[in-house]
């Protein structure tokens, strides 16, 4: 059975995945990979690093170079804290929907597609 997003008549709205990170070099690769491996076609990944000192920003830049059309790096010069970092990332997001993810967290496979499908077919859905 095909879902709403499998139809060729339905455009897939852009989803911005907002990732905030600070000193998470041991996790950020797996976090980025879980988003890049989603089965949803229209994703941008906005990664905001809050002036990490452990090499996290180098990993983010590597991914941005490998996926220039999908990964948008935001690297702070000085640590501003989680609120400043989140706000910086939020205002760079251009998607119709925004999914928030920590730099040490993961999405289940298929998460974005399922959530967008639910939101598109349930007019009262607001979260």
User: In this structure, is residue 9 part of a structural domain?
Assistant: no
- The answer to whether the CB of 46 falls within 8 A of the CB of 75 is no
| DSSP percent split of the chain into helix, strand, coil, nearest 5 | 35, 20, 45
Domain membership of residue 115 (yes or no) is: no
Domain contains 30: yes
Q: What is the pLDDT along the chain (127 residues), one digit of tens a residue?
A: 345 454 443 579 999 999 999 999 999 999 999 999 999 999 999 999 999 999 999 999 999 999 999 999 999 999 999 999 999 999 999 999 999 999 999 999 999 999 999 989 988 887 6
Residue 63: give the domain boundaries: 21-110
d(Cα 69, Cα 54) in Å, to the nearest integer? 26
Q: Is residue 7 part of a domain?
A: no
Which CATH number belongs to the domain containing residue 29 in this structure?
A: 3.90.550.10
Q: Contact, 112 vs 43, CB < 8 A?
A: yes
- What pLDDT is recorded for position 10? 55
**Number of folded domains that form the chain:** 1
In this structure, is residue 73 part of a structural domain? yes
Residue 101 lies in a domain: yes
Asked if residue 31 belongs to a domain, the reply is: yes
Quote the Cα angle for 72-97-80, to 5°.
50
């Amino acid at each position: 059975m095909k879902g709403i997003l499998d139809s060729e008549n339905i455009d897939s709205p852009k989803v911005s995945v907002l990732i905030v990170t600070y000193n998470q070099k041991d996790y950020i690769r797996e976090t980025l990979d879980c988003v890049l491996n989603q089965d949803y076609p229209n994703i941008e990944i906005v990664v905001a690093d809050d002036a990490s000192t452990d090499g996290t920003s180098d990993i983010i830049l590597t991914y941005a170079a490998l996926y220039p059309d999908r990964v948008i790096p935001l690297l702070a010069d000085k640590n501003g804290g989680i609120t400043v970092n989140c706000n910086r990332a939020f205002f760079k997001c251009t998607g119709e929907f925004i999914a928030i993810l920590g730099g040490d967290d993961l999405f289940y496979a298929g998460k974005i597609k399922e959530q967008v499908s639910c939101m598109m077919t349930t007019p009262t859905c607001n979260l």
